[in-house]
Amino acid sequence: MATASLRTVNSRESLPGGFDPRMLRREFPIFANNPDLVFLDSGASAQKPASVIDRVADYYRTDYANVHRGVYRLSARSTELFEEARVKVRRFLNAADPREIVFVRNTTEAINLVAQSWGPAFLKPGDEVLISVLEHHSNIVPWQLLRDRIGIRLVVAPLDATGGLDVAGFEARLSSRTRLVAITHVANATGAVVPVETIVQLAHRQGAKVLIDGSQAAPRLPVDVQALGCDFYALTGHKVYGPTGIGALYGRWELLSAMPPWQGGGEMILNVTFEKTEYQEPPHRFEAGTPDISGAIGLGAAIDFIEELGRDNILDHEEALTGYGVDRLSHIPGLRLLGAGQRRLGILSFDLEGVHPHDVAQILDQHHVAVRAGHHCAQPLMEWFGLSGTTRASLGVYNDERDIDRLAEAIEAAREMFGR
Amino acid sequence: MMDLRELYQDIILDHGRHPRNFRAIEQPTHVAQGYNPLCGDRVTVYLSLDGDRIADVAFQGRGCAISTAAASLMTEVLKGKTVEEARVLFAQFHARVTGGEPEELPEPLAEEAERLEPLTGVKAYPARVKCATLSWHALEAALKGGGAGTTVKTEWQDGP
């Protein structure tokens, strides 16, 4: 293995408490190249620390070859690094075994994998998949495709008046027909934290499996799939400060090992004749073709970065900053923060009276504040709020109170420009 | 970066807040809906043609300041024009906001086209070009004989 980490750790050593977003920002080259940038769009995609960028470049420079192919040393080393990254993801999620970690492109692909492989193999017409109003389109559409293909029923759990998941309503929609609950951990459009521990218990009591969309949770919360007891957990690399194009699906071994392949090709086979093909065991059964090797290695570096920071520290930081943001934005006249139930994490989604989200985002951009405007791929949730879209600020490890202040000032400028 | 006031000129803010011809036409001869999948905004454009001439044009919908102002200004400019003049005005406007080569227009059309000038600030903001052209695409779809059910999407219509 070549250089372990090119990141300069000396900056952090000087920090009391070990977590200072301003100092941390030095590790993200994007901020050196865009000095005025107030980046509040990590919910769409997080910026990358130098350790991740360098690790990917370094891998191509020193260790690159295809994996699981060659007998030559370079290929063996590349394979070792790739599989090492899988072990890091195992540790990140506290899965029991690295073979329970399948590399995919992103959360969307992870969910589609379950829908297309596990779905037709284990579901029959009339079986129910239970989702919620909070879901991103990527946890809605794959189930609609499955519904249209094999005739399952898609059931949607409601929200309570505060915008959180209505747990009683969820429970009321669970039945012996429910075979899978597919639900987000943290809602991408509002930051609502779903009590997934309770959800898993309720679902398992009815014999339903549980898939958790961890896109927004993985960068913000410690995740322990064994303690949760969930059956599948999906995450994407680019939101945990890793590269784009790589993500991971955790699946319990009993489930993964019983699931048929979903894509055919190289890498996923043991033996092929024109009559019959024997498939690999998981996870390689689900990784047809040359994978995103550098992406996986970059994801491993991102996990190292997060774990060095400390996931409890990150959670403390995100909670404190979310609280500050709620407080700061609530004082802006005409601003309605979208309800996120009992617990909101890392995301501030709002409607500014009389100003369209795209106009808000345009003014914010002029103030170098980068946010997302629109429906956030959660149109049913927007509909629930009676809006076509919102402006969304989402947090990362490099944000601090000053960023929230800059956001608030820019919102005031938008109010001024569009005020009647 | 250009000053944002070049994008949000007073006339845009005014038409955004108080759109003209913001209503349905009871019995339109042509109607179509424009949809921007990027933001979920929708605009419905209603036309009432008297022969080849636009006797009345109006719109309804929910959109940002740019798209609302663009639709509002479009209705003001188009009233009384022929279908061919509307087509020429759109082609010229489209070229101006997407950085193409705008055609020279004869008077008095050139003067009408000039009224759309405040919208051309969007060409510095590629993500907003679709906001300015949404209602025009709906108009075009309506004139192509679309009915109430016709929806035209902005995606792929205007790069990038």
Position B148 in a domain: no
- Residue A159, in any domain of the structure: yes
CB contacts of B64 in chain A (<8 Å) are 356-359
Q: Does residue A78 contact residue A63 with C-beta atoms inside 8 Å?
A: yes
- Whether the per-residue pLDDT at A9 is higher than 50: the answer is no
Together in a domain, A331 and A295:
no
Same domain, A257 and A282: yes
Contacts of B7 in chain A (CB under 8 A): 362
> pLDDT averaged over chain B?
88
- pLDDT band for B154, please (50, 70, 90 cuts): low
Report the percentage of chain A scoring pLDDT > 90: 89
Residue A8 inside a domain? The answer is no
B153 falls within a domain: no
* A377 assigned to active site: yes
Same domain membership, residue A321 and residue A283: no
Tell me what pLDDT residue A18 has.
59
Whole-number pLDDT of residue A15 = 39
Domain's final residue, options A265, A288, A306: A306
Instruction: Say if A335 is an interface residue toward chain B (CB within 8 Å).
Output: no
Q: Which residues pair with A370 in a beta bridge?
A: A39
Of B1, B17, B40, the CB nearest to A388: B40
Q: Do B65 and A379 touch (CB under 8 A)?
A: no
Q: How far is CA A159 from the centre of its chain?
A: 21
Domain count, chain A: 2
Confidence band, pLDDT 50/70/90 cuts, at residue A420: low
Q: Which helix (H) or strand (E) holds A319?
A: helix A311-330
Asked if A99 is an interface residue toward chain B (Cβ–Cβ < 8 A), one would say no
Averaged pLDDT score across all residues of chain A = 94
Task: Find the domain containing B22 and state its range.
Answer: 4-143
Instruction: Indicate the residue among A306, A335, A362 that finishes a domain.
Output: A306
d(C-alpha A14, C-alpha A35), whole Å = 22
What CATH number is associated with residue B81? 3.90.1010.10
Domain end position, chosen among A306, A334, A357 = A306
A362 and B128 within 8 Å at the Cβ level: the answer is: yes
Number of domains in chain B: 1
Domain span holding position A277: 73-306
pLDDT at B37: 80
Min Cα separation B110/chain A (Å)? 29
| Mean pLDDT of all residues in A41-62 | 98
Q: Above 50 in pLDDT, residue B115?
A: yes
For residue A4, the model assigns a pLDDT of 41
Query: Alpha helices of A4-72 — where are they, by DSSP H?
Result: 10-13, 21-24, 29-33, 50-62
SS3 A136: coil
Instruction: Kindly state whether residue B150 falls inside one of the protein's structural domains.
Output: no
CB contact under 8 A, A374 and B38: yes
Check whether A165 has a pLDDT greater than 60. Answer: yes
Residue B55 has pLDDT above 90, yes or no: yes
The Cα A131–Cα A219 span in angstroms is 22
User: Are A354 and A412 found together in one domain?
Assistant: yes
pLDDT tops 50 at residue A166: yes
User: Could you tell me if residue A348 is inside a domain?
Assistant: yes
